[in-house]
Structure 1
Amino acid sequence: MSKALLAFDDKAMLLSTAALDMILLCQRRGFALDSLLKGTKLFEQDLRKATTKISPAQYLQLVSNCQKALPGPELAYLTAQSWLHHSHSPLLLMLRHSANLQQALLSFYRYRSQLLPLVYIRLQRVQGQLRLVLRPSFDLGKQQAFIEQLMLHYLLGLVKQQLGDTSRLSISATGMDYETSWLYQHQWQLTPELCLQNCLSLPLALLKHPFADANPVLWQQQQNWCLYLQQSIPEKAAFTEQLEQWLFTVLRQSPSQEDAARHWGLSLSSLKRLLALQHTSYQQLQDQVKACAAQQALLVQGMSNKTLANRLGYSDEHNFRRAFKRWTGLLPSQFRS
């Protein structure tokens, strides 16, 4: 394994950063703490400790409880707003005091285990744009939409806070109800587009625009704190995330399940068991990776089906067209249009 494995019950997330703001929001709306902590094995005194750690399973239960208290898209937006003004998280302060968006994204990538290691961002360059595609690290169940919206609202808020404008950005989503779409239009003046991936797109030129709160001294101080915290919160990643990342690098070879097991030093049965714990299979994961790569390539003008089929390890473009229809429900020509 390239990184230590993050298991569903590993206590590897700081409660004070990942979930406390969300809990306090619900409390301020009059909801009892007992109901918000139900099923988490957490107690009121745990909220008062800056060092309390929770597992992904506990975090998802907290999200579920808070969503019952505050249903709808508002909770994700308000939690993201709290993150933007957080004064205790070294990582969030580090992002705020970055020189520019490029440095902020690099810092987030390096230290995201100290915030929310349940999703990761895959970067795609397409025609002068940078696409930040959100990918789940775990099977997040019904809470996946909340977590992805939380990350999108935070990234949009960071750009708005530091660059003053989000008009050059765009949002794509796999599905969005009227209330969520209205919130994006009302708060960010953006109309989300339906797509096969959840992503935020921005001009590459924005990466180097200086942040309003850029401060190299404060940034370095917070990075030192992040380095210190890494001793107690070592960088970990879910197995499905690590396997996905590997599959992206070996797309053309179309490795078999047996190849993957050998690469990770696992028996075939162990590989299947690890994936079954995340309610997925090797074939499902490989299809998702190929679909993600194909969608990126189809956004590049001039990429033919034949070229793309070869890139994804298909010798016959007709087989690729059938596979793309199976992955997405659309033919490549329909997706392009």
Structure 2
Amino acid sequence: MESALMLLCPHQPSLLFSAVAKDMLQCCVRRGFHLQKLLKGTPLFPADLDQPRLKLSVQHYLQLVDNCQKLWPGPELAHLTAQSWLHHHPHPLLQLLQHCQTLPEALLLFVRYQSLLLPLWYPRLQRQHGMVRLELRPALQLGAARPFIEHLLCSFLTGFFQRELGLAPEKISMTWLSDNPDWSYSLEWGVQPQLAANWTLSWPTHWHRQPLPLACASRKKLQLSWCQTLQQSLPPCQGLWQQTEQLLFAQLPELPAQEQAAQHLGMALSRYKRLLAQQGCSYQQLCDQVRFSVACDAMAQALPNRQLALLLGYSDEHNFRRAFKRWAGLLPSQLRVLL
């Protein structure tokens, strides 16, 4: 039987332990948690924390996150791990970002090489009304680990902007998945999240002209070389979930039938359905997620329901409102009040 993990990569999937898990575990150990409990359910031993090239399967990384969150629930661990990434992590991608000349260059390299750091999500960059939006979307089913991973990424990126650009926190806009935003973002970063369908960070495009303080062409070249070398041992890849969503975003408003999507991705319909089921989702669920994401983006631009219906491929406003209520549990008018 095909493993859901194989959707992440056609080869044996692996993450670099020292990049994704070591800092998290060390934070827990400093908090007083026993390392044996943190490693439970994985093939790892305490001595493995000192191996710089140790590789870890996606399944075992998610198990480590689950172990840590059971002992240390809440967002604090993700924030502390992000702080470690920002200030003293030796990973070549994290070092590369601070030696770039400008923010656009850093973001481009972050998107290009993010699979070296945590290939469980994928970014979508958009420009809207003088702002740049970075949306974070899961590349596969993350289960209970999803909140931790999203906290980690958003904390890292928010901290990176503030560190490199010297910005006041209120200039960074963050959107949240719930109408009860996490207090920790206001406490840690001075950012007050707003309601949205997906995690996003937004910032003015004029920030792109500001040079980064530690820009250094020679150091950037060295770290880029290390990233390219590392990429050969951890090849970049796209999960089936991610490939499907990207196809759907590109095809809106006329979404392809499931058979057409399977054909586009080069597999039989039966196998495609089976692999999506192993990811804990269906084709219809991915269609709904993409439509909901686009709808919330468009609602923030004050588009009326009639235009939203056309944008998402619905024949009339009634069908759109009924579908939106199924996605969000609210009618569009009710969500607009919250937005």
TM-score (norm 2): 0.92
Q: 2:83 is aligned with what amino acid?
A: Q
Tell me if the contact between 1:119 and 1:135 (Cα under 8 Å) persists in the aligned partners: yes
Write the deviation string for residues 153-206 of structure 1: whole angstroms up to 9, x where unpaired: 00011011111222201221112767x31x211221122223222221211222
Q: Deviations along 1:277-330, whole A, 9 cap, x unmatched?
A: 1110000000100111111122224x3333332222222232222222222223
Is 2:230 the partner of 1:229? yes
**Paired amino acid for 2:171:** R
Runs of 5+ unmatched residues, structure 2? 1-5
> 2: distance between equivalents of 1:244 and 1:210?
34
CA distance in 1, matches of 2:11, 2:218: 37
RMSD across aligned C-alpha pairs, in angstroms? Answer: 2.0
CA contact (8 A) 1:174 1:198 kept: yes
- Aligned equivalent of 2:316: 316
Structure 1 residue 233 displacement after superposition = 0.7
Aligned residue for 2:30?
Answer: 28
List per-residue Cα deviations over 1:217-264 (Å, max 9, x = no partner).
211111111111111111112110111111100112221111111111
Whole-angstrom distance in 2 between the partners of 1:216 and 1:289:
39
Match of 1:305 in 2: 305
Aligned equivalents of 1:333, 1:29: Cα separation in 2: 46
Mapped partners of 1:134, 1:207: distance in 2: 20
Note if contact 1:9-1:56 (Cα within 8 Å) is conserved in structure 2: no
CA distance in 1, matches of 2:233, 2:133: 32
Q: Hey, what does 1:129 align to over in structure 2?
A: 131
Cα displacement string for residues 31-51 of structure 1 (whole angstroms, at most 9, x for unaligned residues): 222111110111223222211
Worse-matched range after superposition: 322-331 or 81-90 = 322-331
Q: Residues 249 and 197 from structure 1, CA distance in 2 versus in 1: closer, same or farther, beyond 3 angstroms?
A: same
Q: How many residues align?
A: 331
Picking from 170, 179, 185, the partner of 1:167 is: 170
SS of the residue aligned with 2:122? Answer: strand
Matched letter for residue 31 of structure 1: F
Q: What amino acid is the match of 1:219?
A: K
Task: Measure, in 2, the Cα distance between the counterparts of 1:221 and 1:176.
Answer: 44
Q: CA deviation at 1:7?
A: 5.1
- Does structure 1 retain, via aligned residues, the 8 Å contact 2:8–2:140? no
Distance 1:134 1:12 in 2: 21
Partner residue in 1 for 2:263: 262
Distance 1:238 1:46 in 2: 28
Match of 1:69 in 2: 71
**One-letter amino acid of the counterpart of residue 169, structure 1:** I
Check whether the contact 2:24–2:77 (CA below 8 A) recurs between aligned residues: yes
Q: Is residue 6–residue 239 contact of structure 1 (8 Å, CA) maintained in 2?
A: yes
Counterpart position of 1:105: 107
Structure-2 separation of matches of 1:298 and 1:204: 21
Work out whether 1:52 is the aligned partner of 2:54. Answer: yes
What is the match of residue 333 of structure 2? Answer: 333
Give unmatched runs, 5+ long, in structure 1: none
The separation in 1 between residues aligned to 2:87 and 2:179, in whole angstroms, is 27
Q: Which moved more, 1:45-54 or 1:309-318?
A: 309-318
Instruction: Kindly indicate whether the alpha-carbon contact (under 8 Å) linking 1:251 and 1:312 is maintained by their aligned counterparts in 2.
Output: yes
Q: With the length of structure 1 as denominator, give the TM-score of the two structures.
A: 0.92
Question: What SS does structure 2 have at the residue aligned with 1:236?
Answer: coil
Amino acid at match of 1:290: R
What is the CA-CA distance between 1:8 and the residue it aligns to?
11
- Name the amino acid aligned to 1:336: R
User: Equivalents in 2 of 1:325, 1:98: separation in Å?
Assistant: 44
Measured after TM superposition, the shift of residue 73 of structure 1 is 1.5
Query: In structure 1, how many angstroms separate the alpha carbons of the residues matched to 2:171 and 2:35?
Result: 40
Shift of 1:5: 4.5
**What is the rounded CA distance, in whole Å, between the counterparts of 2:291 and 2:179 in structure 1?**
24
Percent of aligned pairs with the same residue?
49
Q: Which amino acid aligns with 2:233?
A: S
Q: Residue 90 of structure 1: CA displacement?
A: 0.5
SS of structure 2 residue aligned to 1:247: helix
Aligned AA (1:240): W
SS in 2 for 1:230: helix
